[in-house]
Amino acid sequence: MLFRQLFDPESATYTYLLADDETKEAVIIDPVRDQVERDSQLIRELGLKLRYVADTHVHADHVTGAGILRQRFGAKTAASQNGGPQCADILLKHGDVLRFGNHALEVRETPGHTDGCVTYVTNDRAMAFTGDALLIRGCGRTDFQQGDAHKLYNSVHDQIFSLPDAALLYPAHDYKGRTATSVAEERAFNPRLGGGKSEAEFVEIMKNLNLAKPRKIEEALPANLRCGLAVDETVSGEPVPERAWAPVVRSGTGVPEVRPAWVSEHTEEFRIIDVREPHEVAAGKIEGAENVPLGTVREAAQAWDPNEPIVTVCRSGGRSGRAALELEQLGFRRVASMAGGMMLWASKGLKTAR
């Protein structure tokens, strides 16, 4: 199984990417909105098919990237049914399973930090992603957002400490540079929950932590209840109406792109600008496309409506990508290049006009 542990330094958040080596189906756990470009690039570079974007709980210290990744990759978002965001595609309950290729994650409800906390356990029980329920030599706070020290104590002992001693535990955060721990280590050395601590002792410890309020809570909680999107944003994560008009995905070089199959089904909904030379267009084009060679796009665009949706097209996607970026620089808010150009269009057997 492919496994990557990624880090956001501002919130000390770990994001985990897991994928099946054979099918390339993947799951990403606890993505951070500020790191969406990094995560998207890695997913594309590795050729992965993102099936699920799974949050361990509604975070209070960072905004999730779930909503944007859902739009970019067609993945389903997943979160707990108990206090999780209702915008999630899948509302998880204890015992549910998220399958990706030949692998799977079992959902274990671990409330206490919040009511909606879950832990994801691999089907071989060798790895568990504990969110804030259990940290390395620590645990999530219980003094706000439905926190309950009694619940957390029982969650950790019943659902996490019950895993094999050698099971590796991966938390949502670490503030000291540590990357992983194990069930045996935490059961022995966790100063709050390990070493045979009783429930009463744990509750007393949590009662006296006196922690400061998370710095980004006012921004993070409302946004995370909307899958990481602000009030004035669409499901694409872009300000309305930018790129909400199409399933736009940014390439590794930053080009906004749409797939030929989608273009063929929606040709009447946008302006198609073919940026090839006239002799190339004469051999075949998309019905209704206007021929505006790349070198003349900037001048021609002066007469176009910058709010009108536009798809640029060329032979293989290179020139149309440059045209799309140029139009964005000119202030066009709804523009995309057709990925793969007319070569990919033709290989898909899509209709060509002459």
Q: What is the pLDDT of residue 246?
A: 84
Residues 6+ apart with CB under 8 A from 185: none
Q: Minimal CA–CA distance to 258: which of 198, 131, 332, 345? A: 345
Side chain identity, residue 79: A
Q: Tokens 């409302």, residue? A: 222
Q: Tokens 């744990």, residue? A: 202
Q: How far apart are CA 197 and CA 153, in angstroms?
A: 10
Q: What is the pLDDT of residue 253?
A: 67
Q: How far apart are CA 108 and CA 85, in angstroms?
A: 17
- Which domains are delineated in the chain? 2-224 (3.60.15.10), 249-347 (3.40.250.10)
7 exposure class (CB count in 10 Å sphere: 0-12, 13-18, 19+): middle
The answer to whether the peptide bond before residue 247 is cis (omega within 30 degrees of 0) is no
Q: How far apart are CA 60 and CA 79, in angstroms?
A: 15
Q: What is the pLDDT of residue 242?
A: 46
pLDDT tens column, 57-86: 999 999 999 988 988 888 999 999 997 777
Q: pLDDT tens digits for the chain (354 residues)?
A: 999 999 999 999 999 999 999 999 999 999 999 999 999 999 999 999 999 999 999 999 999 999 889 888 889 999 999 977 777 889 999 999 999 999 999 999 999 999 999 999 999 999 999 999 999 999 999 998 889 999 999 999 999 999 999 999 999 999 999 999 999 999 999 999 999 999 999 999 999 998 888 878 888 888 788 788 765 554 444 444 444 578 887 776 678 889 999 999 999 999 999 999 999 999 999 999 999 999 999 999 999 998 899 999 999 999 999 999 899 888 887 899 999 999 999 999 999 998
Q: How far apart are CA 294 and CA 319, in angstroms?
A: 7
